[in-house]
Structure 1
Amino acid sequence: MIIEDSYDIIVVGAGPAGATAATYAAKKGASVLLVDRKKDIGVPLQCGGFLPCYDVLQELVPNAEIPYTLKKYPSECVRKTTDYQRFIAPDGNSKGFEVNASVIDRRRFDKFLVEEAAKAGAKVLVGTNVTDIKGNCVEADGVFGKFSINSDVIIGADGPNTTVGKIKNMVRDHDPMEMATAIEYELTGVDVDREAVEMYFGKDYVPGGYAWIIPQERNSANIGIGIRRPMCKKGMSFRDYLNHFMYNHPVAGKKLSRGAIVSVVAGLVPVGGAVGKTAEDNILLAGDAAGQLIATNGGGIPTSMIGGKIAGETAVDSINGSSQLTEYENRWKEQMGLEIKTAVYIRKLMDNLMRSDSMMSASIRMISSEHMKAIQCGKLPESVKKTLINLNIGLK
């Protein structure tokens, strides 16, 4: 593989954010190198693959310019479609709302996004770790050897433990309350609602977060939990909680306990909002590396791709002299900053309620289906805000 001595832009991380950044930068005429430490793009998997359809995404982030790859992707990337989302309270009562979404095959979807970057003209270098950044020089080492490559702009889209962000001191160590661990099983031989995604709450099964059931093809499903260590019982591992949910939950256990585990997925989910700096010197951060996700549901694919698009376009504009690189922060905040910030505020209001099953059940009972959907989209209607604040006061 031939690697040039320099590129206009180097993108580190070939997930949804990085691949999108590389695509849009290459489409604007820049020479782009897309680097990823994985030898096989999309492996290992990092999330359950729940992706709202385009119309829903427009509601989620109405001010954003949504990448075309979120509107049109190959049918083979879709494992299942769903049209309903259901919340199950600790007391077993449920409430839901209509939402059209695809359950995507992340391996195929991620490869599709990288293929789009390559078609746009970006060069792709897999199996390669970035080891250091000195000014405009990126040092890397991997299956194709050691490289020192110069670049005008470097985009770090390398996940919540971003190497790029840490090398440049743009990120701090995460507060344990602001970093969730997601662990998921793919099960076969289960009997679940084929048309609905379900979210379960309850401190004995999923403290400080929620569990999910996402239907797949035939009689399979993804089940998982997203929790934070400070809210767990001493001696209970994340796997212990997922097993407890699968086998013992009074509602979910009846659907799942006879299933066979055919795959295990785990990853980190930053739920503390955007990092302090997403643009500095010749560096931009995008996606999970920048904290660009909706903290109320942990969903990060759409916002990561929006952030990647903005990063790729802004990088080219800075090289062409039509914009400063620091304009990136203004651009992404204008398009989705309010939703990301509001979602963190809601998450903090919910943290206390999640310590009490009775209060969590009360909140689900009191909040309308319409407003639940708004919360999932990082919006906080005034009536819901008053309800959550009053419930929190009742806990004191």
Structure 2
Amino acid sequence: MGCFRCTGKSSKKSENLNHDCSDNKTNKTQDQTASDAVKVNPDVNVKESEVKKEVVSKHDQLALDVKGLNMNEEVSKDGQTNGKRAQTFTFDELAIATGNFRSDCFLGEGGFGKVYKGRLEKINQDVAIKQLDRNGHQGIREFVVEVLTLSLADHTNLVKLIGFCAEGDQRLLVYEYMPLGSLENHLHDLPPGRKVIDWNTRMKIAAGAARGLEYLHDKMKPPVIYRDLKCSNILLGEGYHPKLSDFGLAKVGPSGDKTHVSTRVMGTYGYCAPDYAMTGQLTFKSDIYSFGVVLLEIITGRKAIDNTKSSKEQNLVAWARPLFKDRKYFPQMVDPLLQGQYPMRGLYQALAISAMCVQEQPNMRPVIADVVSALNYLASQKYDPQIHPVQNSWRNPSSSSHVRRESRDDDKRQIAVN
């Protein structure tokens, strides 16, 4: 995929907003996020004379960013975007909130820049603050897209943008603080003592993430293609409540008779739909593919791309596709850390949803509303290992044929979704 500009790894700590400011863990990740490898030329065309004629306030500076990036959305001088208010903060306010961006407030680093935990006294709230790396042009575009997108959004499964700072050459975004960090932190490379999330929690997270994506596709006006759905961008609040984050690559979807948006290929390797990677034609079904990969990660505990495995198992979807064809292999696919504590029928149904989402042909993938219906049902079916049997088949790939026969028709009814 020579045309596919993406990174092979997602940042484990990037924007995983889960550390206390007093925690002295300041190990910086060496991984890259999608935007690390995406080369964007924003073609900023703001004339020098325009800047020289006036002293640019923090509100006006954001408007100049929009104008310079040749974007259609308008940002008014009072800090509103298309009628929705995002608070504006001065740089000094955010510096005070983070102890002048103290090292023990550092949470992680991604393509946009560094992320810090802070405390804003005037709103009496802990926040996460992303500070633009001023050495890269693509950060300005991501900053503007994120402000414009999240200022319009209001959903329980999207991270809330509290405000921003566009003062001089400073660009910062202020979000609600997500204490449990990212889904990636709870699936992969678990440190000693970290709790393994159980089956019920996994289905709850999957259903919530799907509802967030449904809001972007079906409820937003105009509708939005997320374009960067991955485990590191699903953040977790109290009770493992999931919220989609990082909308710097978001794109307004096609409208009218249009079927796609032609754009440069951006995203993270392993999550990007093959049709989009090959043609640059972005559709809502591109997000569905990415969601299918995330659901596979939730079920299997495997990474989308894992270079530590054998060549046949490095790409999660490529590894899973032949196993989808025969149910006797399904128990082999479940995360061994669950130790058999999952419902067999629920496993079949969850894998069926994932298999539908990662179909190579985009027209074969379901729409997000159908995925939400199926996952809401699965999340409602609570599994209790004290009542229901613990599966021994996680060690043995064969499972009883009568169980498979009994559940097959039910699976088809549920997974076909209406």
Question: What is the TM-score normalised by the length of structure 1?
Answer: 0.31
CA radius of gyration, larger in: 2
Higher strand proportion? 1
Which structure has the higher relative contact order (CA within 8 Å, separation 6+)? 1
Question: What is the TM-score normalised by the length of structure 2?
Answer: 0.30
